[in-house]
Amino acid sequence: MPSFSRRSEQIPFSPIRTMFRMADEIERAGGGHVFRLHVGDPDFAPPPRVVEAACEALRQGKTHYAPSVGLEELRAKLAEKARSRNGLAATTEQVIVTPGSTQALFASMELMLGPGDEILLPAIYWPNYVQQVLLIGARPRFYPLGRGYQPDLGAIKEQVGERTRAILLNSPSNPTGAVFPEATLRAFHDLALERDLWILSDEAYEDFVFGGAHVSPGSFERDLPEEKRRVFTLFTFSKSYAMTGLRVACIVAPSARAATMLRKVQEPLVASSGTPVQWGSLVALDASERPGIERMRDAYRRRRDLAVSILQPAGLADYIPEGAFYIMADISSTGLTGDEFALRLLREEGVAVAPGSGFALVPEYGPDGTLRAEPTSSGAPEYPTHPGARHRVRIAFCVSDEELREGLERTVRLVERLRHGTPAPAAARQTA
Ligand SMILES: Cc1ncc(COP(=O)(O)O)c(C=O)c1O
């Protein structure tokens, strides 16, 4: 067999997808129900009007290519939303519709980063960021996060080097649920202006902030001339409308020129997003759909409270997430790493969570700037992990309250067993 490209061999697997596979395997092998707290896929259904509009588009034969930047009607409505809700100075031509924000991130990085260029990422991050940076041949650098996963502003400036081109912001954050205050976001923006850097603002969880309003860093440059603007803002329908499988998102480029460049980058990457789902997404933006989003936000807040009420007394939560639907639980008292713990939890209690290490891999480079990474038999290299995530697991609270409660009580049960050195009950071990 011919060899695979070096870059494809060097990227790590996503810890979330790995747990997916293992959970499926257990259920298929008759190991019983798995409590799926490992994945950020909302348990809600998309708004019925969206489904109907997408089906109607199919019935009407709207099944052909859409423009590569998206349907004009959808772009216009997204621009209007970006202006009125996010405070961006967005025109229709600055909006590029993408098949999900995963793809939007990759296209934006392609635009900003060349081989060897650097992007600053939070030290604990959504794993696809590093996969994408490495695929492009660029280099991730990490800004430290302190208490409650808030950035250490003093330390960020030191991370900016000769080759740094961009800063990635993800507030509210996956996997920590941290929401950066406006002052923090402004400090990043000031730094980007001072050092002439791009900002990539991944706002996938904009609608799930539990106290106060969401702040879009792009709003800080609303009054700047276009050539000075630098924030690429990414929004997705996946989380706000529980439309993860429909694959629609968008990039709001900071200027018409940046949008033209993005359009060019998108041409070889995607022909277009799906046409029927874009017609559905158009309806999602109607004012009548806002109460649905607010109901979901209230449900996530309630589940966050439920999760904290179970994890905190058990010594597993040392901060309170302010947004999104995740918490990085601290399992250090068990003496296990997050990877070991996640495996035991799945086998002994039938609960899937995502090991923290996968959200904190730190690729290492030699003095000549080459990535030190040799793939193992698993198909990916073993990267070192940021110590702040080694004894953590990410718990997603986008399952029903009942599933969440039961999954967390089982988690606490395993923690107690590990703390006291009690073996797993025989019945539980059989689910392995
Ligand atoms: C922080 C963050 N950004 C982007 C995405 C990608 O979302 P999608 O590609 O479904 O729009 C996710 C999905 O989990 C995410 O957590």
Ligand 1 atom 7: residue of nearest CA? 101
Above 80 in pLDDT, residue 16?
Answer: no
User: For residue 380, what pLDDT is reported?
Assistant: 84
**pLDDT > 70 in the chain, percent:** 98
User: For residue 432, what pLDDT is reported?
Assistant: 39
CA 204 / ligand 1 centre spacing (Å): 6
User: For residue 428, what pLDDT is reported?
Assistant: 55
Q: By mean pLDDT, which of 141-150, 217-226, 380-389, 397-406 is the weakest? A: 380-389
The span from the CA of 109 to the CA of 119, in Å, is 9
Ligand 1 atom 2: residue of nearest CA? 204
Ligand 1, closest atom to CA 126?
1
For ligand 1, is residue 108 a contact (CB within 6 Å)?
no
Q: In sequence order, what are the residues at sequence separation of 6 or more whose Cβ sits closer than 8 angstroms to the Cβ of residue 249? A: 97, 98, 99, 100, 101, 103, 104, 234, 235, 236, 237, 238
User: For residue 360, what pLDDT is reported?
Assistant: 96
Ligand 1, pocket-test mutation among 209, 214, 238, 240, most atoms within 8 A of CB:
238
User: For residue 69, what pLDDT is reported?
Assistant: 96
Ligand 1, pocket-test mutation among 170, 174, 278, most atoms within 8 A of CB:
174
Above 90 in pLDDT, residue 374?
Answer: no
For ligand 1, is residue 173 a contact (CB within 6 Å)?
no
CA 432 / ligand 1 centre spacing (Å): 31
Above 60 in pLDDT, residue 419?
Answer: yes
For ligand 1, is residue 98 a contact (CB within 6 Å)?
no
For ligand 1, is residue 203 a contact (CB within 6 Å)?
no
CA 323 / ligand 1 centre spacing (Å): 14
Across the chain, mean pLDDT equals 94
Residue 305 CA from chain centroid, whole number: 21
Ligand 1 atom 3: residue of nearest CA? 204
Above 90 in pLDDT, residue 409?
Answer: yes
Q: How far is CA 88 from CA 230, 232, 293, 302, in A?
A: 12, 10, 21, 30
Ligand 1 atom 14: residue of nearest CA? 40
* pLDDT band at residue 431 using 50, 70 and 90 as cut-offs: very low
For ligand 1, is residue 118 a contact (CB within 6 Å)?
no
For ligand 1, is residue 131 a contact (CB within 6 Å)?
no
| Mean pLDDT (whole number) for 412-419 | 96
User: For residue 30, what pLDDT is reported?
Assistant: 87
For ligand 1, is residue 101 a contact (CB within 6 Å)?
yes
Model confidence pLDDT, tens digit, residues 102-143:
999 999 999 999 999 999 999 999 999 999 999 999 999 999
Model confidence pLDDT, tens digit, residues 178-203:
999 999 999 999 999 999 999 999 99
* pLDDT band at residue 422 using 50, 70 and 90 as cut-offs: confident
Look up the pTM and report it. 0.96
CA 405 / ligand 1 centre spacing (Å): 25
| Mean pLDDT (whole number) for 324-330 | 98
Model confidence pLDDT, tens digit, residues 138-171:
999 999 999 999 998 888 999 999 999 999 999 9
Give the residue with greater pLDDT, 21 vs 430: 21
Ligand 1, pocket-test mutation among 239, 243, 269, 270, most atoms within 8 A of CB:
239
Ligand 1 atom 13: residue of nearest CA? 40
* pLDDT band at residue 21 using 50, 70 and 90 as cut-offs: confident
Q: Which of 145, 103, 38 is nearest to 360 (CA)?
A: 145
Ligand 1, pocket-test mutation among 38, 236, 269, most atoms within 8 A of CB:
236
Q: Which of 394, 372, 347 is nearest to 15 (CA)?
A: 394
Above 80 in pLDDT, residue 386?
Answer: yes
Above 60 in pLDDT, residue 427?
Answer: no
For ligand 1, is residue 204 a contact (CB within 6 Å)?
yes
CA 215 / ligand 1 centre spacing (Å): 18
For ligand 1, is residue 171 a contact (CB within 6 Å)?
no
Model confidence pLDDT, tens digit, residues 250-301:
999 999 999 999 999 999 999 889 999 999 999 999 999 999 999 999 999 9
For ligand 1, is residue 174 a contact (CB within 6 Å)?
yes
C-beta of residue 56 within 8 angstroms of C-beta of residue 71: no
Ligand 1, closest atom to CA 173?
1
For ligand 1, is residue 136 a contact (CB within 6 Å)?
no
Residue 96 CA from chain centroid, whole number: 19
**How are beta strands 371-372 and 231-236 bridged, if at all?**
unpaired
User: For residue 27, what pLDDT is reported?
Assistant: 87
C-beta of residue 57 within 8 angstroms of C-beta of residue 71: no
Q: In sequence order, what are the residues at sequence separation of 6 or more whose Cβ sits closer than 8 angstroms to the Cβ of residue 326? A: 40, 173, 174, 175, 176, 177, 394, 395, 396, 397
Q: Classify burial at 265, counting beta carbons within 10 Å of its beta carbon; exposed 0-12, middle 13-18, buried 19 or more.
A: middle
Model confidence pLDDT, tens digit, residues 307-320:
999 999 999 999 99
Model confidence pLDDT, tens digit, residues 59-97:
999 999 999 999 999 999 999 999 999 999 999 999 999
DSSP-assigned letter for residue 240: H
| Mean pLDDT (whole number) for 22-32 | 88
Q: What structural domains does the chain harbor?
A: 6-44+291-430 (3.90.1150.10), 48-288 (3.40.640.10)
For ligand 1, is residue 14 a contact (CB within 6 Å)?
no
The span from the CA of 99 to the CA of 324, in Å, is 21
Q: In sequence order, what are the residues at sequence separation of 6 or more whose Cβ sits closer than 8 angstroms to the Cβ of residue 1? A: none
CA 101 / ligand 1 centre spacing (Å): 6
DSSP 342-365: HHHHHHHH-EE-EEGGGG-B--EE
